Structure 1
């Protein structure tokens, strides 16, 4: 009963957005239900001032439901395929993460961006968006303003990616008979898992590929997400060395446990 009181209103609101969005997405597959839901949520948020009672449920849905869906996706995937995809995409992932982090450092110097904000935007855009920011923020002692600014930047580009990546994929001439090319593209280039699944699902809907692109994109994205661990470890050690004090790094906090459950589901 406490769960219903705390989370019920927010979960219900998300459901009321999700169901019509899913139906409309089926009618207009080129857009996709996930993108419609994102845009609907943004419009509602503009006019809805009293979100306090629903905020906990919305956050619970956006985190727990999304991660549970990814875990359930693992039951339909072969573990050998997961490792093969990870191995195939690893060089691309390393190159994109390195490039993104270097660019974040260069832009920090050029634009005089505060150090913590630059680090959070860098790890958020190169690894996995909000999850990377949440894992990194305590390590570098980022304040609420720095976290809010970086999340706003990442979310803005997430929305753009979810909307325009399927169009970009078509313009670039990606194979429409299989989802591998676009799946790797989306999994390595889009920040948050939610926007990766949105873009990949839209591509599947556009070309009638079932969940082939989604499977590929999510696997690549989860492989990329594992970079949270060495990045946060490195930042933790650097900060500890600078301040000559024990780091507050927590492996449990940094490691996205839903990845482990995804792998266990694939093994099962």
Structure 2
């Protein structure tokens, strides 16, 4: 390792450490509080406590890198570790009906986002970003779609905010809805949560509010959506190319050359899943992976809460808020109908 690389690594660690320490402390406090309020659960407490601390006390710039690391990187590691606890036979629980449900649910979300956005007067780029963010995987999908359709940073920033806001509300609503409609039936509840929620972290948090099995199976539904990110981005790049008189060669070439790829943690998940299925990962190591995965998840959820900026949520305009509300409503209605037919 060169001196420059070593210096860069030290600088990176120094940058994330303050926020990471706060997220770890919030996660630990959540586990402690959960002993006295077991029905609420450590996951929910971590998010609420993080939102409170992040907005009232520790919202300074010095903490933001660590908060983001907790929310994104640690959650990715958690997903890879989760694969070491699930066999291929578990993945087959989704079946053809489960995969068909995801494909149809995503398709309806995309069509609805494009149609509603057009009626509300939003630009093509804004509508494409909203469609990908809500249909696939929140901020990650928005970030992957933006360069392909040549969206600017302002559009991307607003969409990421409203997509996350929509997901946060749904994150708490869906477990309650699943209780009323399905009495927390494993497959149907997991389909509802994993088929609707915008980000991976929101799926983990919402599923954890119900039960450990629901959280794990919800993640499988979600992973199918994430895998389809490449298809969605390619489609929007093609649509933008057709709608423009100016050919967007650079952006469409990104898709053709494979620059838009499935996130690494999905590949890692399937590798560890295969290793566990083949008994290369023994049961005692699998249990260790499960425990570590749960800890990373809780820290990530604390990070999600710490990064929620309530002032930004209030600043969003009425039309943008309505856009998110309408898409969320369509997602719930379509998911309930499709679950009734397929699952």
Q: Same fold (TM over 0.5)?
A: yes
Find out whether 1:244 has 2:253 as its counterpart: no
Find out whether 1:201 has 2:204 as its counterpart: no
Higher alpha-carbon deviation: 141-150 or 224-233 = 141-150
Distance 1:212 1:50 in 2: 34
Where do residues 141-160 of structure 1 align in structure 2 (5 Å cutoff)?
141-160=150-169
Distance 2:241 2:123 in 1: 19
Corresponding position of 1:184: 191
Computed over aligned residues only, the root mean square deviation of the Cα atoms, in angstroms, reads 2.0
Where relative contact order (Cα < 8 A, 6+ residues apart) is larger, the structure is 2
Distance 2:199 2:20 in 1: 20
Corresponding position of 2:178: 169
Distance 2:236 2:170 in 1: 28
Deviations 1:22-66 (A, max 9, x none): 332343343332222222232233334762222222111211100
Structure 1, unpaired ranges of 5+: 205-210
Question: CA, structure 1 residues 86+144, in 2 after alignment: closer, same or farther (shift >3 Å)?
Answer: farther
Question: CA, structure 1 residues 21+50, in 2 after alignment: closer, same or farther (shift >3 Å)?
Answer: closer
Higher alpha-carbon deviation: 232-241 or 252-261 = 232-241
TM-score by length of 1: 0.89
Partners of 1:232 and 1:254 within 8 A in 2: no
Find out whether 1:57 has 2:58 as its counterpart: no
Structure 2, unpaired ranges of 5+: 1-9, 276-343
Offset of 1:216 from its aligned partner? 0.7
Question: CA, structure 1 residues 49+10, in 2 after alignment: closer, same or farther (shift >3 Å)?
Answer: closer
Higher alpha-carbon deviation: 136-145 or 60-69 = 136-145
Corresponding position of 2:115: 106
Secondary structure of the corresponding residue to residue 249 of structure 2:
coil
Higher alpha-carbon deviation: 250-259 or 2-11 = 250-259
Corresponding position of 1:219: 220
Greater radius of gyration (CA):
2
Where do residues 73-112 of structure 1 align in structure 2 (5 Å cutoff)?
73-85=82-94, 87-112=96-121
Find out whether 1:45 has 2:54 as its counterpart: yes
TM-score by length of 2: 0.71
Corresponding position of 1:233: 234
Offset of 1:102 from its aligned partner? 1.1
